[in-house]
Amino acid sequence: MANDGPRRRKVGETGRMHLDRRLPFLVVHRRAAGEPLAHSLARRVALNSPAYIVWDEGPDDARALALLDRLAVELGEPNQPLLVLAIEDLQQSPESEESAELTPFVAVVSSGETGHDAHATKALVEALESVAIDLRSPRVVKQTLPPEHWLRGALSDEAAVTVPLLVSLPRIHLREDGGVYPQVAHELAVACGDALLRAACAYIESTVGNPPAHYRSLGRRAYLKAALRADEKLARIAGSFDFLLSVSPINATAALEKFVADGEEVAPDFRYRPLTIDPDTVKRRLYNLDFSRLEDPLLERLFAAKRHEIDAQLTMLATRNTPAFRPASLFLYGAVPKTLLDDARHVLAMARGRRVGGEMVGAPVIAAAARDLIGHYNRPDAPFDAAVEIRDDVSGLMVTGNKLLVGTETSMLASRLDALLSHEVSTHLLTYINGNAQGLSIFRTGLAKYEGIQEGLGVFAEWAVGGLTSTRIRLLAARVVAVDAMQHGAEFMDTYRLLRRDHGYSIAGAFGLATRVHRSGGLAKDAIYLEGFRAVIDHVAAGHTLTPFWLGKIARTDLPAIEELLQRGLVHAPRFLPAYLDRPDVQQRIRQIKAGVGLDRLL
């Protein structure tokens, strides 16, 4: 084959060929005359495949069949003829919403008589039988390829091709009124495409005995231009506003001074930055993105989930400082689970650590130390492209994009500096920069629901370097208790008094916690720090590696997707790993987790 890289071309007026790379199988679909394009599950499955030819029955037959024959000769090997997986839509009556009888869930697998495809047939049947859609699994019928089928005479004697496998796919996604059930169609397409890859993997094993490590590594290894364009547009929309800055008050210091002057009896009035975008306009742009053209169900799912998250953030911006903000926040971050609330209360009930004194450092020293750590990561072959800014309009430390923002009035114990920079630089900035090197910007801006694990990794970094003090872990626990109170109707003064009366926080401490939780009307984000930390500890204790989490900003539920993308070569191992992981004291602490030491003793 002269070109083993990606190839894509039109076939006649209606057809298309796509070859991601040289593969020992080819998915073929010839759409029957009169079959509505939106109805064809087989076409959708074919378009999601790494190597396919699709066309419509009629004028393009000659060109498509000639190309199929040529590829069979070109791609076939003496010890491994090309496996042709021909797929079509099973002719069935569509499902009626008013009928108690459901459309039969049936698939038909038709094979030849040579035996070359026996392993592929067996794997395909087993994979289809394991599909579950709406608590139903298909009945798979096996038969011999019909003698009158067009595939019988499609290939010349020169084509070293296995007798094709013909798969007739079920049509339970169709409605009687001519429409489709979109979720059923999507789930069917993903499951059937998965079954084809399993069959191809079994075929490789039976012919050359060297199957891939995972059948999904047979999937695409190159992004289509449509995927790159969609990713770019999604990133542009996500980057058109800064969610946390937009919902955080800009007058927290002045508000605290007035709160104290008023005798701690009057809830503060917070001021916020004017919004730089119109949420409704951005939503229209967001839903104009067409992810169906990605020809990759995994990317389609990841992009769609991110779209829903951005949509939720825009809803929150549109409802800032209104009663609707709080339930919108609950939708995005979820309610505080009872187990997490119990953990938080347990931490708060533990003996309070003695307040540690020592040297205090301010914003200039913090910023200088952060720049030093960034310089440590820089390599000639891989720049650690991050910046540090001291700002008047933020409090504490905050990472946005590739910038670490340090509030002008920030002050902390010098002994806490290592832990906080391990959190902000060696977690948030590091995963942003690693994600930026992955080829798709969604890995730097963050997959949907990434924040829980991201903040958990940050707290884990504090603990790993020995800087997670009892004061700090109590603070994370107090955030959980405060969020739970807010979600159950507490207002600012209720939360403030709860923290002062029941948990012994100072005026400034209780005010700061209540401010974070009640900003813009009630933000539930602060509960994810302790929850994420517990998730990371559980992950390590179970013997799993943290390495996938460093390659970008991902959620724990994304690990199977990341594994598949690694198998397919669409993402790569992280360019940078946290520097603290090489320290002997850190390695000793991590060994404690793996040895089963509980959270109480870890703290």
CB-side exposure of 546: number of CA atoms within 13 Å? 25
pLDDT digits (tens, 9 = 90+) for 152-178: 777 766 665 666 789 999 999 998 888
Compute the average pLDDT of residues 526-539. 94
For residue 86, list its beta bridge partners: 28, 166
Which H helix or E strand runs over 125? Answer: helix 118-129
Q: How far apart are CA 432 and CA 441, in angstroms?
A: 9
| Residue 210 pLDDT grade (very low, low, confident, very high; cuts 50, 70, 90) | confident
Domains and CATH numbers, the chain: 7-222 (3.40.630), 242-276+319-602 (no CATH)
pLDDT of residue 214: 87
pLDDT at 280 > cutoff 70: yes
Between 384 and 409, whose confidence is greater? Answer: 384
Q: How far apart are CA 82 and CA 203, in angstroms?
A: 10
Q: How far apart are CA 5 and CA 432, in angstroms?
A: 30
Q: How far apart are CA 64 and CA 422, in angstroms?
A: 58
Compute the average pLDDT of residues 245-257. 92
Least confident of 32-36, 121-125, 346-350, 463-467: 32-36
Please report which residue ranges of 180-296 form alpha helices under DSSP H: 182-207, 225-238, 243-247, 252-261, 279-287
Q: Give the total residue count for the chain.
A: 603
Under DSSP, the state recorded for 292 is G
Q: How far apart are CA 532 and CA 260, in angstroms?
A: 34
Compute the average pLDDT of residues 343-369. 85
Nearest to 194 by CA among 560, 439, 554: 560
Sign of the torsion formed by the C-alpha atoms of 59, 62, 64 and 65: positive
For residue 362, list its beta bridge partners: 411
Nearest to 107 by CA among 44, 195, 179: 195
Q: How large a percentage of the chain has pLDDT more than 70?
A: 93
* Residue 247, helix vs strand vs coil: helix
Matching residue, tokens 């969609």: 230
State residue 114 phi and psi, 5-degree precision: -80, -25
Least confident of 79-93, 295-309, 362-376, 402-416: 79-93
Q: How far apart are CA 390 and CA 397, in angstroms?
A: 9
Q: How far apart are CA 85 and CA 48, in angstroms?
A: 13
Contacts of 552 (CB under 8 A, 6+ apart): 431, 434, 435, 438, 443, 444, 446, 447, 571, 574
| Residue 2 pLDDT grade (very low, low, confident, very high; cuts 50, 70, 90) | very low
pLDDT of residue 208: 82
Matching residue, tokens 């003793």: 601
Q: How far apart are CA 310 and CA 317, in angstroms?
A: 11
Task: Yes or no: say if 279 and 317 are a contact pair by the CB < 8 Å rule.
Answer: yes
Nearest to 519 by CA among 264, 272, 330, 311: 272
Q: Which amino acid would we find at residue 522?
A: G
The tokens describing 46, both together, are 């074919």
Task: Yes or no: say if 559 and 536 are a contact pair by the CB < 8 Å rule.
Answer: no
Nearest to 46 by CA among 59, 58, 56, 60: 56
Matching residue, tokens 């499951």: 191
pLDDT at 437 > cutoff 50: yes
Matching residue, tokens 């005798």: 263
pLDDT of residue 96: 47
Give me the chain's average pLDDT, please: 90
| Residue 211 pLDDT grade (very low, low, confident, very high; cuts 50, 70, 90) | confident
By CB atoms closer than 10 A (0-12, 13-18, 19+), residue 211 is: middle
DSSP 158-192: T--BPPPEEEEE--TTBBTTS-B-HHHHHHHHHHH
| Residue 36 pLDDT grade (very low, low, confident, very high; cuts 50, 70, 90) | confident
Q: How far is CA 281 from CA 40, 189, 527, in A?
A: 34, 32, 30
Which H helix or E strand runs over 106? Answer: strand 106-111
Q: How far apart are CA 223 and CA 52, in angstroms?
A: 15
Contacts of 501 (CB under 8 A, 6+ apart): none
pLDDT of residue 97: 47
pLDDT of residue 148: 82
pLDDT of residue 1: 41
| Residue 189 pLDDT grade (very low, low, confident, very high; cuts 50, 70, 90) | very high
| Residue 355 pLDDT grade (very low, low, confident, very high; cuts 50, 70, 90) | low
Q: How far apart are CA 594 and CA 65, in angstroms?
A: 58
Q: How far apart are CA 363 and CA 411, in angstroms?
A: 7
For residue 174, list its beta bridge partners: 180
Least confident of 94-103, 168-177, 232-241, 269-278: 94-103
Task: Yes or no: say if 380 and 436 are a contact pair by the CB < 8 Å rule.
Answer: no
